[in-house]
Amino acid sequence: MPHRASRRRFLHTALLVAAAPALARAAVAPAPAFGPGSTAEEVTRGLDLRGKTAVVTGCNSGLGFETMRVLAQRGAHVIGTARSVEKGRDACARIEGSATAVVLDLGNFESVVACTRAIAAREVPIDMLICNAGIVLGEHEQVYGLEKQFVVNHLGHFLFAHRLIDRVRAAPQGRVVVLGSGDHRNAPPGGIQFDRLSGEGWHERGYSHSKPANGLFSLELARRLRGSAATSNCVSPGHVRTNILRNVGNAYGAHARSVGHGAATPCYVAAHPAMAGISGAFLRDFAPAEQSAAQTDAAMAATLWQVSEELTRPYLS
């Protein structure tokens, strides 16, 4: 799809957003008992999640598995997605608690449709929708003519959440949690490359480009959920030792944290009472985190939503 019109649309949207009231951000409640050394088990200790349903993408390893394990341990029924039936079922069998595996390939929009239909068919409210899965690539790859990390890390989750948002709204206090990254600061100049979503000229920063997309998606979703009981927040788990860097040599720094520490903030935002009513935030270690100008640009967030709808339109309903 040509994206020259996207820049004109972005400028038009910028004027509309500038004329509209700013998005009101709820103050994030302090969490003095928790910090960088806290684990997902510690921050959810004492919570009773029985009767609640959580959906976690990428449940078979890393942060997704730890998030699923801890939420199920606290009583939630977790619907975990994986790219194969075998991986999903194996992950669900390795935890204590109630979990159901569903197949999801975020790089295949037909798979996203099939997965969301299977989840929606359960006809239960979704209390926690955690968009966790992601990839890091070392080579320039494309899906649907678009840079693959943008598709998998952003567009797949955009479509996934878009198709399930009514189930989130049906919950007493549905929460969408999008996993971003501090690496959003290394995105190409100007933020989202609307005119070059193929990745030409910037694919070396493909992962970094997908991360402000996660933050902007969460921000715009928060605006669209305003007036409802549902919320949307983006979190950075920090530098965590998982298998996400398997395609680029597993080059982890000495300061890499465990999955227990990395999953702490996602679990906190998804389940802790202190996050009730908080929407549109970007957090790391339970506190607001520094953001680039691009990731806080309301006009860019609105344009990204429009472009994402255009790119996934045949699959939206």
Q: Dihedral through CA 87, CA 262, CA 125, CA 103, nearest 10? A: -20
Query: What is d(CA 215, CA 185) in angstroms, rounded to the nearest whole number?
Result: 11
Rounded average pLDDT over 69-76: 98
Residue 217 has pLDDT above 80, yes or no: yes
By DSSP bridging, strand 175-179 and strand 146-147 are unpaired
Q: Domains, the chain, ranges and CATH?
A: 4-13+35-315 (3.40.50.720)
Q: Which pLDDT score is estimated for 243?
A: 63
pLDDT in tens, 166-203: 999 999 999 999 999 877 888 899 999 999 999 999 99
For the stretch 10-34, what's the b/e string if a residue is b when 16 or more beta carbons lie within 10 angstroms of its beta carbon? beebbeebeeeeebeeeebeebeeb
Amino acid at 68: M
Positive or negative CA dihedral for 282, 187, 162, 222? positive
More confidently predicted of 31 and 11: 31
Q: Among this protein's residues, is 207 annotated catalytic?
A: yes
Residue 14 in this model has a pLDDT that exceeds 90: no
d(CA 316, CA 251): 37
The two tokens of residue 213 are 């997309």
Annotated catalytic residue, options 144, 207, 268, 315: 207
> What confidence score (pLDDT) does residue 22 get?
39
In this predicted structure, what is the pLDDT of residue 240?
Answer: 74
pLDDT over 70 percentage in the chain: 86
